[in-house]
Amino acid sequence: MDHLDEISREDLQEALDNVDGKKPTERLLAAIAYKNGVTQTELAEWHGTGRRTIYNWLKRLDTDESLEQAVTDAKRTGRKRKLSELQQQKFEDAVHDPPNEVGIDAPAWTPELAQEFLADAFDVDYSIPSCRRLLKEAGLSYQKPRRTAAESDEDEREDFHDELKKSEQRWTPP
């Protein structure tokens, strides 16, 4: 089946100038290349996709709607959030304070603590990865705990200081 018989290269080029986004641009570039004699198999290799995908991209252009609309995906809303906007704001406000402010005995927020808080405060169940995402959306960043000198072994501290003295106050690998 020949595609794009009724669409000129100029029309495709004009549509390319008027679209935004990676996918619509990629689809129009593939259509222009196809009009210039590149096979669907070659296009699939160039774009790192299957031949069927290229076929679908070209078939999308055989429509009555404008080329710009044909290459653009419809808006996908996704799943509805479990928290309302007000609950989301209350959660974000809570995690910007230490956990003990909301009755959790811990020094800092973790995904597990956020999961517990969400279940208790809003009666919603979130997975640990989703709690990580919620904490990140709230503006928090993950920080690895580091051992402090007070938590380290006394012998290890003395060995370190002895090595430091031997290296004339420069740290060097053993």
Q: Where are the domains of the chain?
A: 9-71, 85-137
pLDDT at 1 over 50: no
pLDDT at 168 over 80: no
| Predicted confidence band of residue 151 (pLDDT cuts 50, 70, 90) | low
For residue 48, give the DSSP letter: T
- Model pLDDT, residue 104: 87
Which segments of the chain are extended strands (E)?
Answer: none
Q: How far is CA 86 from the centre of its chain?
A: 24
With 0-12 / 13-18 / 19 or more C-beta atoms within 10 angstroms meaning exposed / middle / buried, residue 28 is: buried
Amino acid at 81: R
Whole-number Cα distances in Å, 98 to 62, 108, 128, 136: 58, 6, 19, 16
Whole-number Cα distances in Å, 156 to 151, 152, 153: 11, 7, 5
Both structure tokens of 121: 């405060």
d(CA 159, CA 126): 46
| Predicted confidence band of residue 118 (pLDDT cuts 50, 70, 90) | very high
Mean pLDDT of the chain: 85
- DSSP for 138-153 reads TT---------GGGS-
| Predicted confidence band of residue 83 (pLDDT cuts 50, 70, 90) | very high
| Predicted confidence band of residue 62 (pLDDT cuts 50, 70, 90) | confident
Both structure tokens of 17: 């100038």
113 or 154, higher pLDDT: 113
156 or 71, higher pLDDT: 71
- Model pLDDT, residue 158: 79
Task: Assign 3-state DSSP to the chain and report helix, strand, coil percentages, each to 5.
Answer: 55, 0, 45
77 or 131, higher pLDDT: 131
